[in-house]
Amino acid sequence: MFNFSANNLILRAKKTTATFTCFTMLDRHTKRTYLLYDFNQAHHFEPNLPYVVTGKINAAHNRLFLVLETSRLDHKNLSSP
């Protein structure tokens, strides 16, 4: 497992199942989209607000999963378009 972190992410979509929540987040600088898996179902994001997230990259069944561990509001990029 490897660590990952990203900032200036905004919520695009959310899908909740019985075992996890999957967030689709957009990086406003690079325009990359991330699928973040929250197996604890403890994280909540407001639309159009930037967030900093950290977690682990996990591999299973020949796929990579970004497993969310921490999140907080990104005050540095709060006023960015």
pLDDT of 62 > 90? The answer is no
pTM: 0.87
What is the rounded CA–CA span in Å between residue 56 and residue 69? 7
Is residue 27, in this structure, part of any structural domain at all? no
The pLDDT value given to residue 80: 59
Mean pLDDT of the chain: 92
- Expressed as residue numbers, the domain containing 55 is 2-22+32-64
Q: How many domains does the chain have?
A: 1
The separation between CA 70 and the C-alpha centre of its own chain, rounded to angstroms, equals 9
**Residue 16 Cα distances to 1, 41, 57, 78, angstroms:** 24, 8, 20, 26
Is residue 60, in this structure, part of any structural domain at all? yes
The separation between CA 81 and the C-alpha centre of its own chain, rounded to angstroms, equals 19
Q: How confident is the model at residue 61 (pLDDT cuts 50, 70, 90)?
A: confident
Is residue 42, in this structure, part of any structural domain at all? yes
